Structure 1
Amino acid sequence: MSQKYDRIVVVGGGSAGWMTAAALATGLRGRASIEVVESEEIGIVGVGEATFPSIRQYNQIIGIDEAEFLRATNGTYKLGIRFCDWLEVGKDYFHTFGHFGNLFGSQTLWAQHRRMGLAEPLGTQCVPTVMAMKGRFALPNEQAQFKYAYHFDAVQYAAFLRRLAQQRGVRHTQGRIVDVIRRADGGVAAVQLDDGRRIEGDLFIDCSGFHSLLLGKTLAEPFVDFSHWLPVDGAWACPCERSTEEITPYTMATALEGGWAWRIPLQSRTGHGHVFSSRFIDVDRARDQLLARLDGKPVAEPRLLRFTTGHRQRFWVNNVIAIGLSSGFLEPLESTSIYLIQDGIGRLMTMLTEGRPLDEDARALFNEGSSRRFARIRDFIILHYCLTRRRDSELWRHVSSMALPETLAYRIELWRRYGVLHEYDEEGFDATSWLAIHAGMEHWPERDDPVFAEIPAERALRALLARRDGIAASVERMPLHHQLLGQVLR
């Protein structure tokens, strides 16, 4: 590691700050001093309670035991997301972290399922989707291979990682940052606290949340705005008491008049929220709609968050790298906020541990890759909106007719015309995830590949029904989610 980065300062705590600090302490193994400056002025957003399967990889690399993690964070298992009323009111579908597979060599299952005209959803052919539908959960094995994620309390997760990072040598400094001292080359030399302390560093990781204290405010890095495609700009969040013994192993996202509502089950409470666009619904009306949906007694007053979807033009400028909300934000529809934190950490750790020159080319590579990742996830989220049949409110009329990013328009056209699930580099979601949304929104290719008809219809139907029934029988033997969770926690 170059002498230039012997002192690394992480500005901000929360999930982003402490995930970064824990990864640096684990990966660098004492080759640099790491200090987290946690400012009361910055605070913690702390509502990101649903995650993406990559969180398991992060925890494993850091060396976190799953049961210990679940106990410390009020965590539950997540198989995916149930989307209600997105296609039209009264219809729902699942996007889970499983595969549909092939029936006969290259013969895709979805094509034969559609060819047979089966009325049941494609999800009956996917193990974790059936598990989610039945409220059951079992850990993957050789017979049932799939991915899963977690629901957890983000504030408790940050505290858990803080203890771990400090055990591995990370210094924790608390204080309000009142000034940022610049270097002659335009970088950051130090941050100054209100009590006069000056924290110097060679590399600064900006984890200051929406404030973007270093990259946004100090270095004035421009913002790339996605709100013309993703118009939601606010969220009400309100936790409530858990009303039933059962805990659903999935997030619920229900489309509403001016946005959508989330439901996230934890061990002792349920997180509720309403993500909305102030262009299409009044803020107070959005709050009232959230409160009307609560399925338990509120344990706190509703909290309002405001944001703009998009990202900083560059993520790494001079000696400042932004990770987390300080770098950008994509609405939480597919639970990608912590995934994007992890992605930024991974890119940084690769460069620090492989001994690459951290020059202008390295920074450009980091920035280009991060921008593409945001764009790919942006397109995937837009897909949920633009395929709707709803025309019952101004929001849904807008998203169903808006001009799409060229990258997304091309993918949709390839699927619609030829049934091809095109993939770019830096993808956040694989082809199976795109298929789940297309299928759930009943958006199918205009014509089938004639080769699918080479398999006799009777044989294809037998294979589909056998797979469906086999999955159903297997899932029926699994414990309910809350039962399996209780066993793990004990």
Structure 2
Amino acid sequence: MHSPLKKIIILGGGSSGWMTAAALGKILKNHPCEIQVIESEDIGTVGVGEATIPQILLFNDLIGLDEDTFIKRTKGTFKLGIQFKDWRKVGHSYYHAFGEVGKNMEGVHFYHYWLKMRQQGKAAPLDEYTLSSLACNEKRFMRPFDAGNSPLSNIAYAFHFDAGLYAKFLRESAEGHGVVRTEGKVSQVTQHPNGDIRSLILENGEEHQADFFIDCSGFRALLIEQTLKAGYEDWHHWLPCDRAVAAPSALTEEPWPFTRAAAQQAGWQWRIPLQHRVGNGHVYSSEFMSDHDAERTLRENIDGELLADPRLIKFVTGKRNKFWHKNCLAVGLAGGFMEPLESTSLHLVQVAISKFFSFFPFQTPTQSDIDEYNAQMDFEFTRIRDFLILHYHVTEREDTPFWRYCKNMSIPDTLQEKIDQFKANGRINRFNNELFNDLSWFEVMYGQGLRPEGYNALADIFPDDELAKRLEGIQRVVRKSVDYMPSHAEFIANTCPAKP
């Protein structure tokens, strides 16, 4: 008979630790398994994961968070997409918008019809058919509601929030489901003869044993790497940015419903508006820019007054060779790091947790389950990796050594195959339910300047005149829908304003 897990220790708090604790506490509330979080207030967290993607709504629903309360408590705002400024070339910008683009017809994606008509000069810019893009431009927002076939029925959105406040909010949720928090720093990790982790010994001498351990210790990876030597796959040659300097600033205008990613000489800078401040960070490659110049670039491109001194963060983009090794699971930065270009950090925490539930073990995990979990997480990371590389590699910029390197570097075969297929006929195949769907790939490929030679042959099923009228009709409906939406600031003020 298999013995159930009796105790799980999560090492580390922050967003990843408390997301894990909140989910385990909720799902295992009727399971005889103790959940303990060991963290130290003396150990800081990276805490820059303030932008998300729509999948986080599923996580918040899983743990039972009320959305308005969540926004109020985290001083959050809403997000309809990401604006990429100066990536294709200086002076050019585009949106990777959430949700629908146009309307699919007769089983063919809208963008194929649009490509056909655009190549003939008979279609407006893509934004004119995309509710989220227009709403971003005009700083409008609302949640979806039942409006029939209107785009207002299918508004996809995510959030910006204060990561520290989010962790605190999640901690309350977790402790409400019986999760126990212990303050302390780990001084020693003991192991069983077979290499499994046995216990964590704290600096005050306390020893805490468990059947299973989840490493949320961040870049330190105290358990999965320092103890179990799981190994790390470095993707620096494809994603050369390895540092970020971050600082909050005062609001100078009403918050936008989008994240801005503005390309710089050796990387890019994020701008994330919250209700009480703006989050800023300059991600860059230390091979192409000094720390001093990086901080100067950050300061020069911030509108409001700095609220704190800039903080330097060093990282290596890549992933753990084994996310689950023996009786230890790595979640968050302990498992790998993907720069926040597409706001995937917290999503990867969410994926790690959900897949862990799919393979939730007894006291003695099955190796085949561990191997399959690792394979699935490897797939998640590598497909996101390819999507991030796309932004750097497909560009017209050659104005700095950094951009010349990115444009001319070799890329993974999996990404090259996607690019070649798109160039030929505009087709994009979403493989095995990878995170970013065909619309996301299309928006970024086209936005970065990639132009296909053709389109799906089925786009010819409508005569050109009829197709032109259909596109004009879609454009009118999208425009009317955006006009119906209140401003982002007005929506927040009426539904979920944070306390001053």
Tell me which interval the TM-score lies in, with the shorter structure as reference length.
Answer: over 0.9
**Change in 2 beyond 3 A, CA 1:270/1:448:** same
Residues 71-470 of structure 1 correspond to what in structure 2 (within 5 A)? 71-102=72-103, 104-116=105-117, 117-118=121-122, 120-142=124-146, 143=150, 144=152, 145-244=154-253, 246-352=254-360, 358-425=365-432, 427-470=434-477
Could you state the TM-score of these two structures normalised by the residue count of structure 2? Answer: 0.95
Instruction: For 1:61, give the aligned amino acid.
Output: L
Offset, 1:313: 0.2
Output one character per residue of 1:10-40: Cα deviation in whole Å (capped at 9) or x when no partner: 0000011111011111001142000000034
**3-state SS in 2 of match to 1:213:** coil
Offset, 1:450: 4.4
Output one character per residue of 1:147-195: Cα deviation in whole Å (capped at 9) or x when no partner: 2100000111001111111111010000111110111110110101111
Could you state the TM-score of these two structures normalised by the residue count of structure 1? Answer: 0.96
Offset, 1:356: 11
Would you say the 8 A contact 2:211–2:363 is kept in 1?
A: no
Instruction: For 2:136, give the aligned amino acid.
Output: A
Instruction: For 2:326, give the aligned amino acid.
Output: N
Offset, 1:107: 4.0
**Change in 2 beyond 3 A, CA 1:449/1:47:** closer
Output one character per residue of 1:185-211: Cα deviation in whole Å (capped at 9) or x when no partner: 101101011110001100000000011
Moved more, 95-104 or 200-209: 95-104
Would you say the 8 A contact 1:235–1:274 is kept in 2?
A: yes
**3-state SS in 2 of match to 1:218:** coil
Output one character per residue of 1:378-431: Cα deviation in whole Å (capped at 9) or x when no partner: 001111111100000011111111111011111111111132201222511111
**3-state SS in 2 of match to 1:83:** strand
Offset, 1:137: 0.3
Cα distance in 1 for partners of 2:108, 2:335 equals 42
**For residue 63 of structure 1, what is the aligned residue in structure 2?**
64
**Change in 2 beyond 3 A, CA 1:288/1:118:** farther
Instruction: For 2:22, give the aligned amino acid.
Output: A
**3-state SS in 1 of match to 2:281:** strand
Offset, 1:41: 5.5
Output one character per residue of 1:293-345: Cα deviation in whole Å (capped at 9) or x when no partner: 11101100000000000011000000000000000000100000000000000
**Change in 2 beyond 3 A, CA 1:325/1:2:** farther
Offset, 1:70: 0.5
**3-state SS in 2 of match to 1:273:** strand
Output one character per residue of 1:236-291: Cα deviation in whole Å (capped at 9) or x when no partner: 101001012x2100000001100000000000100111000011111110110000
Q: State the identity %.
A: 39
**For residue 22 of structure 2, what is the aligned residue in structure 1?**
22
Cα distance in 1 for partners of 2:384, 2:81 equals 16
Moved more, 200-209 or 102-111: 102-111
Instruction: For 1:133, give the aligned amino acid.
Output: N
**3-state SS in 2 of match to 1:214:** coil
Instruction: For 1:28, give the aligned amino acid.
Output: L
**3-state SS in 2 of match to 1:435:** helix
**3-state SS in 2 of match to 1:217:** coil
Offset, 1:442: 2.9
Would you say the 8 A contact 1:42–1:209 is kept in 2?
A: no
**3-state SS in 1 of match to 2:307:** coil
Cα distance in 2 for partners of 1:401, 1:286 equals 23
Instruction: For 2:404, give the aligned amino acid.
Output: R
Where does the alignment leave 5 or more consecutive residues of structure 1 unmatched?
none
**3-state SS in 1 of match to 2:407:** helix
Cα distance in 1 for partners of 2:363, 2:446 equals 43
Instruction: For 1:460, give the aligned amino acid.
Output: L
Cα distance in 2 for partners of 1:41, 1:177 equals 12
Cα distance in 2 for partners of 1:45, 1:451 equals 48
Output one character per residue of 1:44-81: Cα deviation in whole Å (capped at 9) or x when no partner: 11111001111111011100000110011011001110
Moved more, 213-222 or 454-463: 454-463
**3-state SS in 1 of match to 2:359:** helix
Cα distance in 2 for partners of 1:201, 1:235 equals 36
**For residue 35 of structure 1, what is the aligned residue in structure 2?**
36
**For residue 53 of structure 1, what is the aligned residue in structure 2?**
54
Cα distance in 1 for partners of 2:265, 2:341 equals 16
Cα distance in 2 for partners of 1:439, 1:125 equals 15
Instruction: For 2:187, give the aligned amino acid.
Output: V
**For residue 12 of structure 2, what is the aligned residue in structure 1?**
12
Cα distance in 2 for partners of 1:103, 1:179 equals 58
Instruction: For 2:462, give the aligned amino acid.
Output: I
**Change in 2 beyond 3 A, CA 1:202/1:426:** farther
Cα distance in 2 for partners of 1:217, 1:437 equals 38
Would you say the 8 A contact 1:376–1:426 is kept in 2?
A: no
May I ask how many residue pairs the two structures share in their alignment?
A: 488
